[in-house]
Structure formats: C-alpha cells, structure tokens
C-alpha cells in the first residue's frame, strides 16, 4: 500500500504544475488588456490598464510572465472578479460553502438510495425492482440535466411554489446577516440548527431542494447500474453460497458478506460522481439562481471575466485532484489486492 499511495502523492505536485501550465497557456489566448485585469485588485485601477500591463510585465517573454503569474497565484492573489464584484479569492470563499452544502445534499441521497436500489435490483434480479431500476437508469441517462432542471423549476416554482430560486428568502437572508445569527460552518442548514432557528433550516432546505433534485436522479442512474452488476458478480461467489449453506440469515449474507465486497468498485465510482457533480452544479445552480461557485463560474465565462474564470478553473481542478486522490487512497485501504500488489 505504501508504494502505491506514495506514488499517488508524488504525482500530485506534478499534476498541480501541469494544471497551472494549462491554465496559463489558455490565458495567453486572451489579449493583454483582459489579462491585466488579473492583477487589478480594486476598481480604480481599471482606468489605467496600460500602466498595469507595463507594471506587471505583460509585455515580457512568456516564461517570465509565467513565473510572475505563479508567484501571484502562490500568494492567493487571483485578481478582481467583475461578475462577483470582489477579489477572486474572496469570491471563492464566499461562494464555495453554498456549493459544498448543495453537493452534500446531492451526494448523500445519491449514494444511499443508489446503493440500496442497486442491491435490491441484484437480489431480485429479473423481478419488478430490477426492471424498474433498469428503466429508470436508461431513461435518466439520456436526460440533459438542464432540461430536467427547467422542468422542475416550472413545476415546483412556477406551479407549486415549493422550491424558490436563490439560497434563502429575503427575511431569512436578512436574519442570517444580523448579529443574532452566528455563522459557524457557513453551511446554512447546519448553522440554522446550531442557532436553534428551525424556520431558517426549512427555508434553506426549500431552496436547496430544487438544484439538488435536478442532479440527484441524473447522478443516481449510473450508481444503481454499477451497484447492481457489482452485486451480481459477488452473489455468484463461493463464500456467499457457503454463508447461505451454513444457515446464515439472508440479510446477513447480503449486507455483511456480499455488499461489503461489492462496494469496492462503488468507492471509485463515488469519486467520479463527485467530479461529475462539480460540473453538474454549474448547470443546476445557473437554473435555480443558487449563488454557488458553479453559477459564478458560468457567469464569469459568459461575461469574459477572465480572473473569475481562472480562479474558478484552478479551484475546481484542485478539488477534483484531491477527490481522485482520496478515492485512490480509500481504494488501496479497502482492497487488499492493491494494498499488497
């Protein structure tokens, strides 16, 4: 296990370096004026861009520029994001908690229900649950999440008015910004409970439900199918038959013996799911006007807010790399074939 995990960790700085090179190369496609905005930290400087260009050496050779850019990056100085109307690093800090909260509310139900449904489909192969899950997976895999999200918005906001867009209603928002409310985690549902404000919790859940529902069904489809095939594979193994033969109760055989082993590929898949979610929230947040990094990133891209796009890309790449690393390590920790191999 040591060597495998060590190799993963050694590759980490290499990938991080590659990511900065890729982003920097992409930035070279934009004019110096737009790139100069990267170094602007305050609105007044926008008036004298040519000074900024000269001051930060945007007319210098590429490798010099790259070194300077990397230095700025190391100091967390990512420039002024016009779409967020604040420095990019502050914008990430401001928008990320909302996305994190949304991701948790998608990830947990997807994994719990998806694994449960997949297990049921495998255990009751060719019965109703199996056919239902197959139909569910097939029809949802073609569903564009943005179309599905718009339909949810039409039904649950336009018609029923249950899941309004945004992150909080006006009163709740004002209350959370008042001194009576303490932000411990910046996850609104958690903070609301810690402050003992049930109505804010309900309000936050109602706002999260829309974008969460948009992605939950779409992301779950794949997990159900993988769990099913993985379970089917394991249920054929000898030790499952042994368990049954020695008279173990069926739930023990399925939950303790079969599913534990079937979960190994699912852990890898969960990291893919996490990465997929980081892309998916861009669409879901945009549709429901949910103020997370996804909506901000998409807005920055549409309005050519280069510092915003850069910060967004680097941040999301960082999260993705860490997510993949976590999956590799978990995988090695669970599966003895990799640990010892």
Partner 1 sequence: MSVIRATVTRPAPLHTLRITGSVLVALAVLTTAVPTLRLRVVRHPLDVGAFLLMVAAVLAFWALPSDFTRRMKRNPLSIAGFAIILAFVAVAILAPVLAPPLANTRDPYLIPHEGFLPDPTPPRAGHPLGMTGNQYDLYYGIVWGTRTAFRVAIVVEAISITIGVVMGSIAGYYGRRLDEIVMRITDVFLAFPSLVLSVVITAVLGKGLDKVMIAIAIVGWPTYARYLRGDILSVKQRDFVEAARAAGAGDLRIVIRHVIPNAIYPLLVVAAFDMGIIVLVAAALSFLGLGAEVGYADWGQLINMSRSWILGVPGNPFIYWFTVVFPGAAIFLFVLGWNLLGDAFRDILDPRLRGSQ
| Contact residues for partner 1, defined by CB under 8 A | 11, 14-15, 18-19, 21-23, 26-27, 29-30, 138-139, 141-147, 150-151, 153-155, 157-159, 229, 232, 275-276, 278-280, 282-283, 286-287, 297-298, 300-302, 304, 306, 309, 312-313, 316-317, 320-321, 324
Least Å distance, CB 341 to partner 1, is 19
Q: Which residue, 141 or 241, is less far from partner 1 as judged by CB?
A: 141
Q: Which residue, 19 or 267, is less far from partner 1 as judged by CB?
A: 19
Q: Which residue, 225 or 257, is less far from partner 1 as judged by CB?
A: 225
Q: Which residue, 130 or 248, is less far from partner 1 as judged by CB?
A: 130
Q: Is the Cβ–Cβ distance between 193 and 201 less than 8 Å?
A: yes
Q: Which residue, 53 or 275, is less far from partner 1 as judged by CB?
A: 275
Least Å distance, CB 10 to partner 1, is 12
Least Å distance, CB 238 to partner 1, is 18
Q: Which residue, 47 or 160, is less far from partner 1 as judged by CB?
A: 160
Least Å distance, CB 190 to partner 1, is 25
3-state SS string over the chain?
A: CHHHHHHHHHHHHHHHHHHHHHHHHHHCCCCHHHHHHHHCCCHHHHHHHHHHHHHCCCCCCHHHHHHHHHHHHHCCCCCEECCCCEEHHHHHHHHHHHHHHHHHHHHHHHHHHHHHHHHHHHHCCCCHHHHHHHHHHHHHHCCCHHHHHHHHHHHHHHHCCCCCCCCCCHHHHHHHHCCCCCCCCCCHHHHHHHCCCHHHHHHHHHHHHHHHHHHHHHHHHHHHHHHHHHHHHHHCCHHHHHHHHCCCCHHHHHHHHHHHHHHHHHHHHHHHHHHHHHHHHHHHHHHCCCCCHHHHHHHHHHCCCHHHHHHHHHHHHHHHHHHHHHHHHHHHHHCHHHHHC
Count of alpha carbons within 13 Å of 168, Cβ hemisphere only? 16
Q: Which residue, 192 or 282, is less far from partner 1 as judged by CB?
A: 282
């Amino acid at each position: 296990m040591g060597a495998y995990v060590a190799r993963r960790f050694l590759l980490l700085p290499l990938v991080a370096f590659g990511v900065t090179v890729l982003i920097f190369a992409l930035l070279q496609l934009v004019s110096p004026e737009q790139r100069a905005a990267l170094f602007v930290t305050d609105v007044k400087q926008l008036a004298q861009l040519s000074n900024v260009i000269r001051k930060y050496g945007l007319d210098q050779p590429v490798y010099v520029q790259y070194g300077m850019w990397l230095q700025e990056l190391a100091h967390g100085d990512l420039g002024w994001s016009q779409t967020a109307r604040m420095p990019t690093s502050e914008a990430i800090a401001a928008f990320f908690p909302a996305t994190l909260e949304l991701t948790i509310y998608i990830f947990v139900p997807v994994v719990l229900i998806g694994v449960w449904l997949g297990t049921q489909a495998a255990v009751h192969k060719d019965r109703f649950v199996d056919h239902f899950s197959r139909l569910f997976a097939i029809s949802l895999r073609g569903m564009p999440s943005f179309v599905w999200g718009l339909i949810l918005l039409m039904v649950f906001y336009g018609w029923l008015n249950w899941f309004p867009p945004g992150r909080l209603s006006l009163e709740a928002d004002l209350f959370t910004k008042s001194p009576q409310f303490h932000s411990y985690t910046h996850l609104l549902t958690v903070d609301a409970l810690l402050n003992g404000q049930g109505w804010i919790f309900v309000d936050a859940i109602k706002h999260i439900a829309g974008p969460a529902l948009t992605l939950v069904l779409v992301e779950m489809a794949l997990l159900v199918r993988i769990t099913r095939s993985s379970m089917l594979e394991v249920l054929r193994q000898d030790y499952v038959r042994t368990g049954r033969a020695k008279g173990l109760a069926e739930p023990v055989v399925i939950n303790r013996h079969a599913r534990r082993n079937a979960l190994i590929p699912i852990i890898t898949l969960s990291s893919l799911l996490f990465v997929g979610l980081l892309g998916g929230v861009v669409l879901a947040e945009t549709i429901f006007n949910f103020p997370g990094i996804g909506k901000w990133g998409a807005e920055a891209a549409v309005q050519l807010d280069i510092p915003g796009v850069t910060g967004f890309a680097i941040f999301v790449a960082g999260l993705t790399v860490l997510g993949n690393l976590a999956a590799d390590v978990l995988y090695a920790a669970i599966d003895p074939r990799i640990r010892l191999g």
